[in-house]
C-alpha cells in the first residue's frame, strides 16, 4: 500500500500569537509564518498544543487554519491540530479545517473520557474515513491518559488515510516496537525535541517540534544531517541544544515557548487561561539557555 507522505524534516508546532487583550494577533502571525518558511521548515502545525488549540473557540480554530493556509500559499504543508474527547465535535472540526485549506490533520487521542484500544481503532477509522486529508496520529499519554499500543498501531496502519504518527510517549522501546511491527506503513515523527535523533535512528523521518519555533533552521539542519548520513553532526546538535530544550519544558508547553518567542520579539508573552505567563526563576533560566546558544534577546 502506497500512502501519502505529508513531510520529511521539521514541522513546527507553531505558537498562536495573542494580543495583550487575548485576541489572535494576525499582525504578528503572518510574519511569523513567513519567517518560519524562509528559515527552512518543512511543514507547519497550526492550532496544536503549542498553538493553544484547546482554548481557541471553534471559529478561531478554523480561522487561524484558514489564515495560515492562505499565508503559506502552498510553500509547505499546513497541518491542523484537531481531535477531541467529543468525537462528533472532533470530526466537525477536522472537516472544517480541511475545508479551510489544511493539507493534513494531527488528531490527538481522546482525553478525559478515555477509550479502549478497540475504541481507538474505531475512532481513528472514523476520522480517516471522513477527514478528506491524510491523518497523523498523535500519541501523548502524559496529556491524555491514553496510550496507543504497538498492536493497535498495526491495526491503524491498515487504513490508507492513516499515514503517520507523532509519538510523544517518550517510550523508545515501545516506539521501536511499533516501527518493527508496522513495517513501513506509518511514517514516524518525534513528538519530543529531546528525542529527535533517537527516533530518527529507529526509522523516523522528522519531528513535530517546539524547539523549531525559536530555531527553525537549526532544527531542520539537525534532522537533515541525520537523514543525509552525518549522524555525528546530528548527535552533536541534539546534545548542544539539550539545555535549551529542557528549559522549554520546565513548565507545561506552551508557556515557556510563548515566553521565548516574546523575548525574541515575535509576540506578546500572552497565553490563555488556565495557562499563565512564565515568571521568576524559570523565566531567567529560559533566557540564559537562549543566550547560551546564541539567540539574541530583545
- What 3 state SS string does 71-99 have? HHCCCCCEEEEECCCCHHHHHHHHHHHHH
Band of the pLDDT at 69, cuts 50, 70, 90? very high
- Per the domain annotation, does 138 fall within a domain? yes
Please report the pLDDT score of residue 185 as a whole number. 97
Catalytic residue selected from 124, 127, 153, 166:
166
Rounded Cα distance between 289 and 292, Å, is: 5
Please report the pLDDT score of residue 36 as a whole number. 98
The answer to whether the beta carbons of residues 272 and 22 sit under 8 Å apart is yes
Please report the pLDDT score of residue 223 as a whole number. 98
Percentage with pLDDT > 90 across the chain: 98
How many domains are there within the chain?
1
Q: In this predicted model, what pLDDT tens digit does every residue of 203-239 receive, in sequence order? A: 999 999 999 999 999 999 999 999 999 999 999 999 9
pLDDT over 90 (residue 1): no
Band of the pLDDT at 37, cuts 50, 70, 90? very high
Asked if 263 is an active-site residue, the reply is no
Q: What is the DSSP letter of 296?
A: P
Average pLDDT of the segment spanning 179-192? 97
- Per the domain annotation, does 294 fall within a domain? no
CA 38 to chain CA mean position, Å = 19
Please report the pLDDT score of residue 67 as a whole number. 98
Please report the pLDDT score of residue 56 as a whole number. 97
Average pLDDT of the segment spanning 267-272? 97
Please report the pLDDT score of residue 84 as a whole number. 94
Q: What is the DSSP letter of 228?
A: T
- Per the domain annotation, does 171 fall within a domain? yes
Please report the pLDDT score of residue 57 as a whole number. 96
pLDDT over 90 (residue 88): yes
Average pLDDT of the segment spanning 68-89? 97
pLDDT over 80 (residue 269): yes
Band of the pLDDT at 278, cuts 50, 70, 90? very high
Please give the torsion angle defined by the CA atoms of residues 247, 245, 253 and 271, in that order, rounded to the nearest 10 degrees.
60
- Per the domain annotation, does 224 fall within a domain? yes
Q: How many residues does the chain have?
A: 298
Q: Can you list the alpha helix ranges (DSSP code H) found in 131-241?
A: 141-144, 150-156, 172-182, 196-200, 216-227, 231-240
- Per the domain annotation, does 111 fall within a domain? yes
- Residue 145, domain extent: 9-228
Average pLDDT of the segment spanning 43-48? 98
- Per the domain annotation, does 26 fall within a domain? yes
- Per the domain annotation, does 274 fall within a domain? no
- Per the domain annotation, does 90 fall within a domain? yes
Catalytic residue selected from 67, 138, 189, 241:
138
Q: Report the CATH number that the domain containing residue 19 is assigned in CATH.
A: 3.20.20.70
Please report the pLDDT score of residue 10 as a whole number. 98
Band of the pLDDT at 28, cuts 50, 70, 90? very high
Average pLDDT of every residue of the chain: 97
Rounded Cα distance between 153 and 135, Å, is: 13
Q: In this predicted model, what pLDDT tens digit does every residue of 122-177 receive, in sequence order? A: 999 999 999 999 999 999 999 999 999 999 999 999 999 999 999 999 999 999 99
Asked if 166 is an active-site residue, the reply is yes
Nearest to 87 by CA among 141, 139, 127: 127
Amino acid at each position: 500500500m502506497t500512502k501519502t507522505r505529508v513531510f520529511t524534516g521539521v514541522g513546527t508546532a507553531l505558537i498562536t500569537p495573542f494580543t495583550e487583550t487575548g485576541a489572535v494577533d494576525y499582525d504578528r502571525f503572518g510574519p511569523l509564518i513567513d519567517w518560519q518558511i524562509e528559515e527552512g521548515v518543512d511543514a507547519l502545525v497550526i492550532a496544536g498544543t503549542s498553538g493553544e488549540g484547546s482554548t481557541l473557540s471553534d471559529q478561531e480554530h478554523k480561522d487561524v487554519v484558514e489564515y495560515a493556509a492562505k499565508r503559506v500559499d502552498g510553500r509547505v504543508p499546513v497541518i491542523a491540530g484537531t481531535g477531541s474527547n467529543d468525537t462528533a465535535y472532533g470530526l466537525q472540526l477536522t472537516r472544517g479545517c480541511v475545508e479551510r485549506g489544511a493539507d493534513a490533520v494531527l488528531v490527538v487521542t481522546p482525553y478525559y473520557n478515555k477509550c479502549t484500544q478497540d475504541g481507538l481503532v474505531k475512532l481513528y477509522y472514523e476520522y480517516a474515513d471522513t477527514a478528506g486529508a491524510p491523518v497523523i496520529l498523535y500519541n501523548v499519554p502524559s496529556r491524555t491518559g491514553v496510550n496507543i499500543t504497538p498492536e493497535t498501531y498495526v491495526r491503524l496502519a491498515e487504513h490508507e488515510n492513516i499515514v503517520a504518527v507523532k509519538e510523544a510517549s517518550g517510550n523508545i522501546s515501545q516506539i521501536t516496537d511499533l516501527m518493527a511491527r508496522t513495517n513501513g506503513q506509518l511514517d514516524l515523527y518525534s513528538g519530543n525535541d529531546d528525542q529527535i535523533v533517537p527516533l530518527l535512528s529507529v526509522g523516523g523521518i522528522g519531528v513535530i517540534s517546539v524547539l523549531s519555533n525559536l530555531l527553525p533552521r537549526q532544527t531542520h539542519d539537525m534532522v537533515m544531517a541525520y537523514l543525509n548520513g552525518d549522524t555525528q553532526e546530528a548527535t552533536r546538535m541534539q546534545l548542544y541544544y539539550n539545555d535549551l530544550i529542557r528549559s522549554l519544558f520546565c513548565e507545561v508547553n506552551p508557556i515557556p515557548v510563548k515566553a521565548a518567542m516574546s523575548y525574541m520579539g515575535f509576540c506578546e508573552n500572552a497565553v490563555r487561561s488556565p495557562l499563565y505567563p512564565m515568571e521568576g526563576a524559570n523565566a531567567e533560566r529560559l533566557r540564559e539557555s537562549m543566550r547560551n546558544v546564541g539567540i539574541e534577546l530583545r
